């Protein structure tokens, strides 16, 4: 274990706005990248220079957040960037544009994302109001189901909010993330919640509060991945 640590390269590209020099790279040994934001201004130049120095693979300590599909596919083009790195598709797609998005990227994503791939849609994080948390969850579940109906095995990643932000569905959100990882195709979010039968079970209360404001979203809690994949269609 100690030898593996000594043989690996550890690098941070930026400290604040200051670019740091690329450290010597051990050929055919892993490199670990510490930056929280992978897409710094000149990330492509830095990655290509590191790759040219011959590491066995590039691992990121933090998840890579892609805000566009272009960023995602640029990462995938660089095969030295390990596929074990967590990638979060933090992409906001209006509901009416989801069919066009899938028409454009479906075959590429199907070929790229296996059932065990650590590729996620993010929920949670920092929002300005309770309704922003509700709206984000609704939109992200809608996107998740569109992916599943297309046969794309993406999952949910729950980002806890920073200090000062209060998520009104802070108990429900991790339950949904855990549920999206399961290999069982016959359970819905409701099924996951019902496993806890107490009337005052926090995720159940949070779901009821959300549906008080958005009753039409109840259908989101009743879907299963198996049904969606069988129907090959989803529209809320």
Mean of pLDDT over the chain: 90
Mean pLDDT of 53-77: 93
DSSP code of residue 188 = -
- The answer to whether residue 199 scores a pLDDT higher than 80 is no
- The answer to whether residue 3 scores a pLDDT higher than 90 is no
Least confident of 1-10, 80-89, 143-152: 1-10
- The answer to whether residue 200 scores a pLDDT higher than 90 is no
Q: Which residues pair with 11 in a beta bridge?
A: 33
The token duo for 76 is 């995938």
Mean pLDDT of 215-229: 94
> Exposure of 105 by Cβ count < 10 A (0-12 exposed, 13-18 middle, 19+ buried)?
middle
Least confident of 1-10, 113-122, 214-223: 1-10
- The answer to whether residue 120 scores a pLDDT higher than 80 is yes
DSSP code of residue 81 = B
What's the angle, vertex CA 132, arms to CA 127 and CA 134, rounded to 5? 120
pTM listed for this prediction = 0.88
* pLDDT, position 64: 95
Least confident of 1-5, 30-34, 189-193: 1-5
**Strands 14-15, 18-19: parallel, antiparallel or unpaired by DSSP?**
antiparallel
């Amino acid at each position: 274990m100690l030898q593996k640590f000594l043989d690996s390269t550890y690098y941070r590209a930026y400290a604040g706005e200051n670019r740091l020099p690329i450290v010597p790279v051990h050929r055919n040994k892993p490199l670990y990248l510490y930056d929280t934001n992978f897409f710094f201004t000149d990330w492509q130049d830095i990655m290509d220079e590191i790759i040219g120095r011959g590491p066995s693979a590039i691992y990121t300590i933090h998840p890579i957040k892609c805000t566009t599909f272009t960023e995602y596919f640029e990462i995938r083009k660089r095969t030295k960037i390990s596929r074990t790195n967590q990638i979060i598709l933090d992409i906001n797609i209006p509901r009416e544009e989801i069919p066009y998005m899938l028409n454009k990227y479906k075959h590429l994503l199907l070929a790229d994302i296996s059932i065990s791939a650590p590729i996620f849609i993010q929920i949670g994080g920092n929002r300005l109001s309770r309704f922003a948390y509700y709206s984000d969850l609704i939109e992200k579940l809608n996107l998740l189901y569109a992916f599943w109906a297309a046969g794309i095995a993406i999952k949910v990643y729950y980002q806890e909010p920073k200090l000062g932000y209060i998520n009104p569905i802070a108990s429900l959100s991790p339950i949904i993330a855990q549920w999206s990882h399961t290999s069982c195709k016959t359970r819905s979010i409701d099924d996951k919640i019902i496993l806890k039968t107490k009337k005052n079970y926090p995720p159940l209360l949070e779901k009821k509060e959300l549906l008080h404001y958005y009753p039409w979203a109840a259908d989101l809690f009743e879907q299963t991945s198996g049904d969606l994949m069988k129907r090959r269609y989803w529209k809320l």
